[in-house]
A and B are shown apart, each in its own frame.
Chain A
């Protein structure tokens, strides 16, 4: 346990420290003040549409149009991969529902994978279809946050076409190159040659899939994408060969979401407020990590009757090279950040350990996806400000913006939508053969599989509990819709809120104004997150992981 805690502390703490200088760079790259050369390049590339301020509606329109175009392009590439180049292993056509699901999955930065990459996709599909989306979908999220922050700061919203290039070329690309190089150094393959055919000692012929893995993995982690090159994702030895690549991957998962908080603080000009948000997010992350580590100490029920040592924790579904602790830490980090890559099989986690990743996806703001995690937190902050603001006897204000009916309505709609898609989706699939017929385990564990899948889709996470036969048409359609809705609703509504703020007179702050930089407000924020983010899921948690836990409790 001590080793595990030390590892978790080093990774989380170390990355938190690294996120500070990164945020300083990101704020300058994303929101340069005055004339800078890259901005001119980007305006040149983007043409007329990339010049001047768009206003909040224009910004949203550009963002949605751009994403729609991405969706169409990737849909075409996936649907026609059998005719397209870079297909040395001659991969065949994909099922249309699968194409829809995969396109939605990558455009929405979810990377839920109902296919197995190395089995079904050509290199062109992987690189030309999916990998650039890992850059561009993540870049969209960061751009949205920057626009939101500018609006809150009382400035023009900016231009989406410039911002998306800034985040792709100035932030994600350099970072991805650094991480990919480090991964190559750690032994991750990077090649365009086809699969290796090896003859084993026993004389059997084995096909070992490979490809441009390092490039894919670097951006998969940094952009909270999570879509693996291989089906088993980061448990695969060629995606994640050893301790150092494991530690590097975990750091890469959380660094950009962490930096987004500081960047937000810099753009709105309230670093202390960002510190509070960061502390609250970190608190949740640490609690979930500690919980996961603790619950994973217990041996799995599957080994109950085996005559083996029961004191090494739950090693079922883990990579032995990372031990019983590496898996749960990864599981928490990847679900806290809407990343979705996996370092252990979540299906095999002890029931309550498995609850921790679910909580991460339910809250979806304890660091959350790149850009969008902070935007989700903004919704919680708004609700907290509204209730706390009344408690200090004033019409609630956030950074001088009065929070009134319209803003509350939009915020609560976004928060309710998250619960709606997860719970209704789960209920429908649990009650029908669509879901109940696809689970890998009976009893509450099977229910958890369904619940997890919808949580993952709604949180744009992309990890799977697995054990679920999710490559069916109903699953592909339902999760595809969920991913699309829950990608764009929580971007459209918050920016509309800030647009509504921008149209109103901004209030000055005084000693009578609710402070958003002190411990009391942090407590208020935590309570709001728990009540609006977690309380709704109490029945689902009770009937899934908790029921499983108590049923098999010794």
Chain B
């Protein structure tokens, strides 16, 4: 399951064969009844078949056989569309299943290294298992001991290994992924049969597919239309009886099937499955179809600054010494403090010091004590030769220095404010307890992010940037990136409160997150995308999981949700608009029997009554497979605002739906009469 482009064909040859087989299997009335419109079509086809066998057909055996044939084909085409959409998922599910079947676990007994080997399916929540190099991880869980690189290609399709380690936000591991170095102890967090792999199998297979609220509403509309047209057709014999005439059942049946919205009904479930599939191929797993639809409705996107708005790393751009300190002194101190700091930030300080201020390259002495960064102190540094150099968050450093003298508070504030106002982050540097100055770290905006936000605005979506930065920095970055709003110095509680507030004002909120403390917000959001690298709690709380852990994807997910609904709406419009031409093909054919002059309504000039009816029915059938690619690929979504979007789709699918069948039926009629079929 490589992360493929959306254009990759769903019409894979190896999927078509099984889909054809499934089309016949789906003729089972118990399955057909789920789609009332197609069920009606099947009932009509069955009725005509019975009449044909009983010799009650009107207008020649050849005509009736063809009519019955095309009616059944209409049903089969509908089944085929659904089967084809399900096909991909089934193939994928089969390979996931085989992965699952071969999972074995080494369950630890007590505290010792002593373990027993057993099938993964008998693991329970809370069990501790040992996973060594080359082993597949037997169940979803959390690393409680050790660090390992894990190949998650089986789930994400990404073959580059990722690090999984105990503690922190990278502790979650997924069943079916392979440890390729080191060994870890994992605590099982899933119930048997309810793991990520199981969910994924169910999802891609479509077994869990429940109709979404919008699908239900659309089905109601289609059923309503079917009933209305059933009334319209079933009353025709009464009208005809007035003048003492009767209308052949076959013609009425043909009219009914032509009028009821078979096209959209046939493609409806394929559209839904394809929408989920598009997400899967995009490496996002939605836990329900409802979540995908909700994505299309999103009004507010909460985006974490880091990784979404800006590239994760900040770069040092300037050294700002306090009065009485030279730039070189500051640069040298900062350089030394960062030598052991392998983060991109640390490396950028080293680079700036060497290239911008000609600080000589040096290495730390062996006796140097490295003080690693911790979230508690928010300070890192090095103690070398008795001299302590520290760098870190300004307030943390100020606090650390407070013991050994009062730093120049006013000047410091001036510098840090200046940096913040330009969207930078100040990093204070102190040497021996004395504050030297500040390193100006600058956030690098992601390329093209401004355009993306402008696009979102045109889609009617407001973006809110969430950041731990102070308000000044946040405001500057927000302005530069073009987000609509920001939440600075955000705590998880702030996030949750913001989501609740937006929701109470009637907006749908989407967000992504990875940490355990994101879980409440992820659960509260209408669309919560959890990063796959995140904690198990986060993955449980969200209604989507992004296997690539790319927060920017939220934007595409919204697009996919919109595309799903648009495809439904456009094909519904197309299907209903088709009815006008079908009326003009079949009504003259029926009524010309007793009012010959009504032949004037035959504005397409169709060859004969039988040919007209047959052509309309053939068009009605073949339009289904012709539209399958569109249903699977989806109608192109463009962020041009609702009004222009409606105009565009109305012209394309409304007007197109009005005109296309006139042309199509006429062409089929020419062929039918040329071949002497009717």
Contact = CB atoms under 8 A, between A and B. Distances in A.
Contact of A390 (B214, B216, B242, B647): B214
Interface string B231-251: 111111111111100000000
A413 interface: yes
A551 B576 contact: no
B506 interface: yes
Contacts of B224: 408-409, 412-413, 415-416
A515 interface: yes
B597 to A, nearest CB: 4
Interface string B205-247: 0000000011011101100110111011111111111110000
Interface stretch (B20-28, B76-84, B95-103, B557-565): B557-565
B214 A400 contact: no
Interface string B561-579: 1111110111011001101
Contacts of A553: 597
Contact of B242 (A405, A408, A419, A446): A446
B58 interface: no
B598 A546 contact: yes
B217 A405 contact: yes
B505 A391 contact: no
A206 interface: no
Given A395-B214, A395-B293, A412-B221, A512 B229 contact: no
Interface stretch (A211-219, A248-256, A458-466, A517-525): A517-525
Contacts of A391: 566, 569-570, 573, 645-646, 649-650, 653
Contacts of A427: 234-239
A17 interface: no
A419 B227 CA distance: 10
Interface stretch (B143-151, B432-440, B459-467, B531-539): B459-467
B573 A508 contact: no
Given A391-B570, A416-B231, A550-B597, A386 B221 contact: yes
Contacts of B562: 392-394
Contacts of B462: 510
Interface stretch (B29-37, B359-367, B636-644): B636-644
A536 interface: yes
Given A392-B645, A511-B641, A404 B221 contact: no
A489 B569 CA distance: 28
A49 B297 CA distance: 42
B646 to A, nearest CB: 5
Interface string B399-439: 00000000000000000000000000000000000000000
A542 B231 contact: no
Contacts of A508: 299, 505-507
Contacts of A505: 503, 506
A536 B231 contact: yes
Nearest to A544: B239
Contacts of A431: 237-239, 241-242
Interface residues of B, number: 76
Contact of A512 (B294, B461, B595): B461
A536 B221 contact: no
A363 interface: no
Contacts of B218: 386, 390, 408
B236 A390 contact: no
Nearest to B241: A431
Contact of A536 (B229, B296, B637, B654): B229
B508 interface: yes
Given A404-B214, A447-B239, A508-B506, A393 B561 contact: yes
B118 interface: no
Contacts of A390: 214, 218, 565-566, 568-570, 572
B217 A386 contact: yes
Contact of B595 (A389, A446, A511, A550): A550
B569 A389 contact: yes
A182 interface: no
Given A393-B296, A512-B642, A405 B216 contact: yes
A423 to B, nearest CB: 4
Contacts of A510: 299, 460-462
A546 B239 CA distance: 14
A404 B595 contact: no
B579 A535 contact: yes
Interface in A496-554: 505-508, 510-515, 518, 520-521, 523-524, 527, 531-532, 535-540, 542-543, 546-547, 550-551, 553
A515 B642 contact: yes
> Which of B231, B241, B568, B654 has its CB near the most chain A CB atoms (within 10 A)?
B231
A511 B642 contact: yes
A443 interface: yes
A515 B650 CA distance: 14
A388 B645 CA distance: 10
Nearest to A515: B643
A527 B225 CA distance: 15
Given A393-B296, A547-B595, A408 B221 contact: yes
A293 interface: no
Contact of A531 (B214, B237, B561, B579): B579
Interface in A415-433: 415-416, 419-420, 423-424, 426-428, 430-431
A548 B476 CA distance: 76
Given A388-B569, A405-B217, A423-B235, A514 B642 contact: yes
A444 interface: yes
B506 A542 contact: no
Contacts of A388: 569, 646, 650
Nearest to B227: A416
A430 B240 CA distance: 8
A423 B458 CA distance: 46
B387 interface: no
A435 B239 CA distance: 11
Contacts of A383: 221
Contacts of A550: 595, 597-598, 600
A426 B601 contact: no
B457 interface: yes
A405 B650 contact: no
Contacts of B503: 505
Interface string B64-100: 0000000000000000000000000000000000000
A387 interface: yes
Given A392-B645, A415-B228, A416-B227, A404 B237 contact: no
B598 A542 contact: yes
B241 A542 contact: no
A190 interface: no
B497 interface: no
B255 to A, nearest CB: 8
B238 A430 contact: yes
Contacts of A540: 235, 239
> Which of B234, B239, B591 has its CB near the most chain A CB atoms (within 10 A)?
B239
Contacts of B238: 426-428, 430-431
A539 B587 contact: yes
B570 to A, nearest CB: 6
A531 B576 contact: yes
B72 to A, nearest CB: 25
Contacts of B239: 426-427, 430-431, 447, 539-540, 543
Nearest to A531: B576
10 contacts: A387-B576, A392-B645, A405-B217, A416-B227, A419-B228, A427-B238, A427-B239, A436-B242, A532-B228, A543-B591
7 tightest CB-CB pairs across the interface, nearest first? A512-B460, A427-B238, A390-B569, A393-B562, A412-B224, A511-B460, A391-B569
Interface of B: 213-214, 216-218, 220-221, 224-225, 227-229, 231-243, 293-294, 296-297, 299, 457-462, 503, 505-508, 561-566, 568-570, 572-573, 576-577, 579-580, 583, 587, 590-591, 595, 597-598, 600-601, 637, 641-643, 645-647, 649-650, 653-654
Given A387-B569, A404-B214, A513-B460, 5 more contacts: A393-B564, A423-B232, A430-B241, A506-B506, A551-B595
